Amino acid sequence: MNKKTIKKITLGIGIFVLLVGGYVASQYFMPHRDVQNVEAFLEIEASQLVDEYLTDVNAANEKYLDSEGESKVIIVKGVVKSIDTDQNNQIVATLESNNPELGVSCTFTAESNKNANTLKIGERLKVKGVVRSGAEYDEDLELYEDAIIEKCDIVD
């Protein structure tokens, strides 16, 4: 190969590396979705959300996910059944449902933990967040799994 061909190949590789690096950087530094500043799709009782996923998971996913598979922002209402802290020191409040084995697990963010610090078991509240997964029953393990709502904060 002559010097001209080597320069063209080197230039092409350099441009490719810059484009890929630019794309990776844009994805890495892209702002995260600000759930609390988005209007909620709907307000729903925790029991209804659990029942919808247990009845027909496909219909529930179609209702709560947009065309790109991103969860819609919802407000879930219910009574606090339990309060825990996860491995990231985020508060996780579980709301009761009609099924004593199931609930809606609401994970707060580092920013919204301060609003959840005063939660009490038995308290009725509204939580705004996004659906991470629906409630389900695993027949093989004979276990129920709560619906999971993430990026939560308390709303009035």
- The residue among 29 and 80 whose pLDDT is bigger is 80
> Which class would CATH give 35-155?
mainly beta
pLDDT (average), residues 125-146? 89
pLDDT, position 139: 85
**Residue ranges of the domains in the chain?**
1-30, 35-155
Looking at every residue in the chain, the average pLDDT score rounds to 88
Closest of 139, 125, 21, 110 to residue 77, by C-alpha: 125
43-72 pLDDT, tens digit each: 999 999 999 999 999 999 889 887 777 888
In the predicted model, what is the mean pLDDT of residues 86-105?
92
How far apart CA 113 and CA 131 sit, in angstroms, is 18
pLDDT digits (tens, 9 = 90+) for 22-34: 888 777 765 566 6
